[in-house]
Amino acid sequence: MKAIKLASIFAVSAVAAAVSTTTIAAEPVFSGTAGVSFTSGASKDDVSGTDDAEIEIAIDTGVVYMEVEFSVTDTETVTTGLEKAYVTQGAVQFGRFDGTLADAGFLGIAENSAIDLVSNSDTDDTGIRYSISDELTVSIEATQANGVADASSEVGMALSYVADMGPGTFGISGGSVGESNAVNAGYSMDLGGATVAVAYAVGEQVDTDSSSTTYQQVLDKTSAALSVEMTPSDATTLNIEYTSNTSETIANVETDKDGFYVYGDYTAGDLTYYVEYYSKDFGDTTEIGVNASF
């Protein structure tokens, strides 16, 4: 496949459209979170202010949509990132997106367990998307060589079909870029006081070593998840997820990860009190805290 530097093409197109647009359809929107939390786990016990504190600025001109994020990590490092910057022309969108269309069918269930098109890198976000209908979207996507230095972009395709089936919502999506491919599928059903969802994914993912500019391998991956979200009251949410992941390297060495994620919160006025738990395979941590969003 011939290498194409789509990222540069889309970036220039997005800037040109932004400059030529003089009508602002919406005011910038600021959002963020502040609070205090206590985290206890296998590696440390820590009391801190808002972990990975973020302020997001969203700008919508009606033609160009953009999100800029300012964040502070627990090491007091300030980072700035352009999360999204894309142009909308009818049913077509093109530019930089936050992630790939290929994992949309997982329906956000145990979101970190959906199979993406790139591992250890958030570069599968440049593309052109076309909405054939409210349910079906197709895209051309590019990735910047999976984070490996001096390598060329890979170009591929993805699609997503998410539809209300009456009793529940069904989603299936997939795509292929370079050596990576993925199929994600999910189904969720509203049972009144609870929403139950299941999802399954299979694919091959290029994995890179952050300490090396040349190392990469292809992993065979599967992922399955079960989620139950309950809302006992308007102020209370409880979410329990069970996830099972299997990754097989090209050396036929398997890594199994199974466990629970539990999240619960209670909102009183402007404050939200919460507890979050990851079981052993996913970090073995418990966090409790209170925060306010703006």
Residue 219 is which amino acid? L
pLDDT at position 181 is 92
Is the pLDDT reported for residue 92 higher than 50? yes
- How many alpha carbons lie under 13 Å from residue 79 in its C-beta half-sphere? 12
Summarize the confidence of residues 221-231 as an average pLDDT.
93
pLDDT tens for 14-66 read 333 333 333 444 566 777 778 888 888 876 677 766 655 667 788 888 899 98
pLDDT at position 26 is 57
**Is 70 contained in some domain?**
yes
pLDDT at position 1 is 36
pLDDT at position 252 is 65
| Whether the predicted model's global pTM rises above the 0.75 cut | yes
Pick from 221, 218, 278, 274: nearest CA to 246: 221
**Is 23 contained in some domain?**
yes
Is the pLDDT reported for residue 11 higher than 80? no
Is the pLDDT reported for residue 127 higher than 50? yes
Query: Distance (Å, rounded) from C-alpha 67 to C-alpha 80?
Result: 11
**Is 133 contained in some domain?**
yes
pLDDT at position 17 is 37
Mean pLDDT of the residues in the chain:
79
pLDDT at position 95 is 92
pLDDT at position 163 is 96
Is the pLDDT reported for residue 289 higher than 50? yes
pLDDT tens for 154-171 read 889 999 999 999 889 999
pLDDT at position 73 is 64
Summarize the confidence of residues 199-222 as an average pLDDT.
74
pLDDT at position 74 is 59
For residue 254, what are the CA distances in angstroms to 31, 221, 244, 278, 284?
41, 10, 13, 22, 21
pLDDT at position 18 is 36
pLDDT tens for 62-85 read 899 988 887 776 566 777 777 889
End-to-end Cα, the chain, rounded Å: 46
Is the pLDDT reported for residue 7 higher than 60? no
Query: Distance (Å, rounded) from C-alpha 143 to C-alpha 95?
Result: 13
**Is 73 contained in some domain?**
yes
The count of domains in the chain is: 1
**Is 1 contained in some domain?**
no
Domain span at residue 268?
6-293
Is the pLDDT reported for residue 113 higher than 60? yes
Beta strand ranges found along the chain (DSSP E)? 29-41, 45-49, 53-60, 64-72, 78-89, 92-96, 126-131, 136-143, 154-164, 168-177, 180-190, 194-208, 216-233, 236-248, 254-268, 271-278, 285-293
CATH code assigned at 132? 2.40.160.10
Q: How confident is the model at residue 225 (pLDDT cuts 50, 70, 90)?
A: very high
pLDDT at position 246 is 78
Summarize the confidence of residues 87-111 as an average pLDDT.
90
**Is 162 contained in some domain?**
yes
pLDDT tens for 256-279 read 888 999 999 999 999 999 999 999
Is the pLDDT reported for residue 211 higher than 90? no
Is the pLDDT reported for residue 13 higher than 60? no
* Chain-centroid distance, C-alpha 165: 24
